[in-house]
Amino acid sequence: MTLLAPSILAADFSKLGEETRAIAQAGADWIHLDVMDGHFVPNISFGPAVVKALRPWTDKVFDVHLMIAPADPYLAAFAEAGADAITVHVEAGPHIHRSLQTIRGLGKRAGVALNPGTLASAIEPLLDMVDLVLVMTVNPGFGGQSFIHSSLETVARVKAMTAGRSIDISVDGGITPETAGPAASAGANILVAGSAAFKGGPTQYEKNVAAIREAAQAATGRDGVRC
């Protein structure tokens, strides 16, 4: 089954609580929270205080994507704020192994993210320590960018590498009803979508979520098996 994780980066920041609840009620499976530091990526978004403030608005899985370096000093704060999954970038520092150990030690799902320029093999030594691999399908930092098709090769490699393990594979960036199918076919079971999920405002959320989900299901079959 393909899950949809709308990114609140594309929501109306002046009413993030209402937006989070609205997208959850519109059929989101997880809520994706993009944390940016203006250092690892050229943009700044929000930190653990915002994650904590949003936690009461839904009981959906909070999928926190850290685009920050260093990440380690902040992992406990995000766990305490209510993250269910915490993803760190393999490019964000020399001690990714330690970061993943820390996340698991905090009792959270540990995720590792790969930028479009990073080989899938970079995470091979980490497979025993991760619950989620996030493949960036744009360069991280901004919503609304175009999907990088060559990233699908990375998704397929991660899929092959993780065969037989219970590791989720998510794709993040430029996911629309057009790109959801190819991403799901390549092996992604979690689709992160910002602009395509939130476009048009709350009255459109149910339609937006359904369009992305249906495109993924059309490409993979309703039970998530490739066809």
Which residues does the annotation mark as catalytic?
34, 172
168 is an interface residue for Zn ion by CB under 5 A: no
Q: Which does 173 bind (CB under 5 to 8 A by kind): ligand DX5, Zn ion, none?
A: ligand DX5
34 is an interface residue for Zn ion by CB under 5 A: yes
Residues 6+ apart with CB under 8 A from 3: 29, 30, 168, 189, 190, 191
Look-up: residue for tokens 């959270």?
A: 108
Q: Which does 89 bind (CB under 5 to 8 A by kind): ligand DX5, Zn ion, none?
A: none
Which of 19, 37, 168, 172 is the binder for Zn ion (CB under 5 A)? 172
Q: Concatenated DSSP letters for 100-159?
A: HHHHHHTTSEEEEEE-TTS-GGGGGGGGGG-SEEEEESS-TT-SSPPP-TTHHHHHHHHH
194 is an interface residue for ligand DX5 by CB under 6 A: yes
- Indicate the length of the chain as a whole number: 227
Give the C-alpha separation, 103 to 204, whole Å.
Answer: 35
Stretch that binds Zn ion, among 100-108, 124-132, 141-149, 167-175 (CB under 5 A): 167-175
Which of 65, 89, 159, 213 is the binder for ligand DX5 (CB under 6 A)? 65
Closest to ligand DX5 by CB, 48 vs 173, is: 173
Give the C-alpha separation, 151 to 10, whole Å.
Answer: 22
Size of the site for ligand DX5 (CB under 6 A): 21
- Contact residues toward ligand DX5 (CB under 6 A) are 7, 9-10, 32, 34, 65, 138, 140-141, 143-145, 172-175, 192-196
